[in-house]
Structure 1
Amino acid sequence: METERLNQQLILASERGDVDAVHQYLANGASVDYKDEEGRTALMAATQKNHIDVVKILLEAGSDVNERDITLLTPFICSGANGFHEILSLMLDYGADLKSVNRFGGTALLPSSEKGYLKTVQRCLDAGIPVNHANDLGWSALLEAVILGNGGRLYFDVIELLVEAGADVNLPDREGKSSLQHAIELKQEKVVQILKREYVESNETIKQAKSLGRADQYEQAIGLIDKALESDQENLDLLYYKGHFFQELKRYEEALEQYQQALAINPNDLDFYFYTANCLRLMKKTEEALAEYDKAVAFDPDETFYLYHKSNYLRELGRHVDAVRAMDQLLDLQPNRYDFSFHKANSLRSLGKHEEAIEAIENAIKNDPTNPLYHTHKQKSLELLAQK
């Protein structure tokens, strides 16, 4: 019983980020291999909360980065899906399986591309994670970045990285559409240019600053931008990159200042609400981050991008009631988006609402009847319903 208690306390301490307690429980015999009722090891608990110091301790103690919880998620893929590139880099040093996938068939590269976690995408590509792997929805990292992105500054840079790494712009999804076709339909003009390899960055400062950013030389990049801003104070692109580099340095307040300055210049550039939300998320200011998504949605209620990424964040937080509400709004806007129905079904299943989850997944099946992922999901929900 004492060992069981120590093991449980280790997971709780890891989730809190309590370094001293983690050391103590390990010294007293707690096991890094122990799993809670959700199948989480202490490493998974620490990873989910982005507690880097605790992750380091657990890795040194022998915790497995490829161990799966009951949802088939590993700490390694979890770090990629949440944009925790520092943790992901650590896990690469401790035997991360580059080809491992989550329950949707996606590697760590896919969710990081979907959510616009630029540095995580770079780390995944540098490590050699296959760039053209497609998940069970039929989407590669590039398809996700185009379809679930908006062609703005951040997603353009993600797409640029993927293309440079050899992403196939003509790889079709399950409907037979390529990334290039989707970008054309979505009127992502700059993305179309990069996919056709026709884009040339005309701003030399931004070109040099991005190169420095890729090399983690953020201070130098900010210095370049500051010099350019002296004569071009209202350049929104310069303000974005300055904010982005401050964010990578964890100088979050200074990053927010740049994004807010940009919004003061042009309140209609809704991307800056998205950048602000991402920054606040890293600061663990949950409600403030959600409010920024809401501001963008209020400006343009028919724009699905901001509402979708709000729903993503809600799912990460385990706030599935709110996530379902967001998915319903999205489905009202785009009833034929089978991926929206699928995400809704996942949240409903997490809430134990299996009949409603089956109804939602049947809507996805109607749009893509041969997708085995949907049928597997429906079968699991039927099994859970029978157990109630």
Structure 2
Amino acid sequence: MKNQSLSQNLIHASGRGEYDIVEQLLKDGASVHYKDADGRTALMAATQKNQVAIAKLLIKAGSNVNTRDITQLSPFICSAANGFHEILQLMIDAGADLKSVNRFGGTALLPSSEKGYLKTVQICLGAGVPVNHVNNLGWSALLEAVILGNGGRLYSEIIYSLVDAGADVHLADREGKSSLKHAKELNQQKVVNILTMEYEEGNDSIKKAKSLALMDQYEEAILEIDRGLEFDSKNLDLIYYKGYFLQELKKYEAALTEFNKALTLDPKDLDFYFYTANCFRLMKKSEEALNEYDKACNLDPTETFYRYHKSNYLRELGRHSEAVIEMDKLLALQPQRYDFSFHKANSLRSLGKHDEAIEAIENAIANDPTNPLYHLHKKQSLELLKQK
């Protein structure tokens, strides 16, 4: 019982970032393999809160980076799904199963491509996570980046990285549409150019800066961007890259200054609200991040990209009631998007509203009746309903 109590405390302390306490609990005999009621180990608790130093300590103590919780999520995939690339690298170095998947059948590369975590995508690709793996929704990482991205600067970089690593641009989804066809329908011209090998970065400063950034030489990359800004101080692409590189250096306030500078120059470039939201998210300022999503949604109420990513973030925060509201707004705009119904169903299930979850998942099944993932989730919701 003593060891169990110590191990429970280890999970709590790991999530709170209490390094000295974690260190002492390990010395006192707490087990890194112990799981709480949700199937979380101490490493999962540390990963969920991006506690890098504690994750490193737990891995050194023998924690398994591939152990799954009750939702079939491992610390390895959790780190990628949240863009926590420092912990992700620790997981990879510790022997993460690069082919492992989450409950949706997606590798670590898919959620990071969907959510716009460029550095995470690059780490996954460099480690050898399969680039053309298809999840249970019928999407590859490239399809997710095109369909759930906005064709802007950040997503274009992700798509370029995927294609450069061998992503199949002709691989089709369950409706028979390839990434190229989706990009054309979504009017993502820059993405179309990347997918057809017709894209080339025209700005020399950006070219040089990107090469330096790939080697993690962000300070040098910023100097290169500054040289470009000396001649073209209002170039939004140059300003974006400076902000992004500052963000990677964890100089978040400085990054926000650059992104807001761009918005001052062009308040209608909604892309930058996504970047400011990401910055606030990394600063663990959730309300500020949500406010940035709202600014973009208010400027263009018909644009689904920002509302979708807002709902994603709400789910990460465990604010499922609010996520459902956003999903309903998305479905009002695009009722044919059965993936929206699927996400709505997951939030409803997290709220214990199994009747409503089944209704939402049935809408997804009606649009895609052969998708096994939808039928599986309906079955699970029915089982949970019986247990109420």
Rounded Cα–Cα distance in structure 1 between residues aligned with 2:212 and 2:360: 46
Residue 160 of structure 1 corresponds to 160
Q: Aligned-pair distance for 1:75?
A: 0.2
Partner SS state of residue 169, structure 2: coil
Q: Which residue identity is paired with 1:308?
A: Y
- Describe the superposition over 1:264-305 as per-residue Cα deviations: whole angstroms up to 9, x where unpaired: 111000111100000110000110000000000000000000
Deviation string 1:151-185 (CA, Å, 9 cap, x unpaired) is 00000000000000000000000000000000000
* Corresponding residue number in structure 2 for 1:25: 25
1:380 correspondence with 2:380? yes
Whether 1:41 aligns to 2:33 is no
Aligned partner of 1:334 in structure 2 is 334
Within 5 A, what are the aligned runs for 1:218-233?
218-233=218-233
Instruction: Please give the alpha-carbon distance, in whole angstroms, between the structure 2 residues aligned to 1:76 and 1:325.
Output: 30
Residue 149 of structure 1 aligns with which residue? 149
Taking only aligned residues, the RMSD between alpha carbons, in angstroms, comes to 0.6
Tell whether 2:368 aligns with 1:368: yes
Inter-partner Cα distance in structure 2 for 1:302 and 1:233: 32
| Counterpart for residue 300 of structure 1 | 300
Deviations 1:356-383 (A, max 9, x none): 0000000000010001100000000000
Structure-to-structure mapping, 1:209-220, within 5 angstroms: 209-220=209-220
* SS of match in other structure, 1:99: coil
Partner AA of 1:123 in structure 2: I
Amino acid of the residue matched to residue 316 of structure 2? E
Partner SS, residue 69 of structure 1: coil
Residue ranges of structure 1 left out of the alignment (5+ in a row): none
Give how far 1:24 is off.
1.1
Q: CA deviation at 1:247?
A: 0.3
* Matching residue's letter, 1:300: D
For residue 6 of structure 2, what is the amino acid of its counterpart? L
- Tell me the equivalent position of 1:113: 113
Shift of residue 231, structure 1, vs aligned partner: 1.8
1:305-347 Cα shifts (integer Å, max 9, x gaps): 0000001111111110111111011001000101100000001
- Once residues 27 and 49 of structure 2 are traced to their aligned partners in structure 1, the CA distance between those partners, rounded to angstroms, is 23
Residue 282 of structure 2 is matched in structure 1 by: 282
Alignment deviations for residues 210-248 of structure 1 (CA, whole Å, 9 cap, x no partner): 111111110111001111111211111000000000000
What is the alpha-carbon distance in structure 2 between the residues aligned to residue 350 and residue 7 of structure 1? Answer: 26
Inter-partner Cα distance in structure 2 for 1:26 and 1:327: 43
C-alpha displacement at 1:2, in angstroms? 2.2
1:7 aligned residue: 7
Q: Distance in 1 between matches of 2:69 and 2:319?
A: 19
Q: Distance in 1 between matches of 2:131 and 2:227?
A: 36
> Residue type of the partner of 2:192?
V
Distance 1:225 1:3 in 2: 54
Q: CA deviation at 1:208?
A: 1.1
Gaps of 5+ in 2: none
Match of 2:107, SS state, is coil
Q: Match of 2:241?
A: 241
1:63 aligned residue: 63
Who is 1:267 aligned against? Answer: 267
Task: Measure, in 2, the Cα distance between the counterparts of 1:300 and 1:347.
Answer: 25
Counterpart CA distance in 1 for 2:250 and 2:89 is 17
The count of corresponding residues between Structure 1 and Structure 2 is 388
How far apart, in 2, do the equivalents of 1:197 and 1:74 lie? 36
Question: What SS does the aligned partner of 1:100 have?
Answer: coil
What residue identity is the alignment partner of 2:170?
Answer: N
Once residues 329 and 19 of structure 2 are traced to their aligned partners in structure 1, the CA distance between those partners, rounded to angstroms, is 41
For normalisation by structure 1, the TM-score amounts to: 0.99
Q: CA deviation at 1:5?
A: 1.6
CA distance in 2, matches of 1:344, 1:34: 32
TM-score by length of 2: 0.99
**Aligned residue number for residue 317 of structure 2:** 317
User: In structure 2, what is the equivalent of residue 200 of structure 1?
Assistant: 200
Letter in 2 for 1:59: I
- Cα distance in 1 for partners of 2:339, 2:208 equals 38
Q: Distance in 1 between matches of 2:30 and 2:71?
A: 24
Aligned to 1:185: 185
Q: Distance in 2 between matches of 1:36 and 1:290?
A: 30
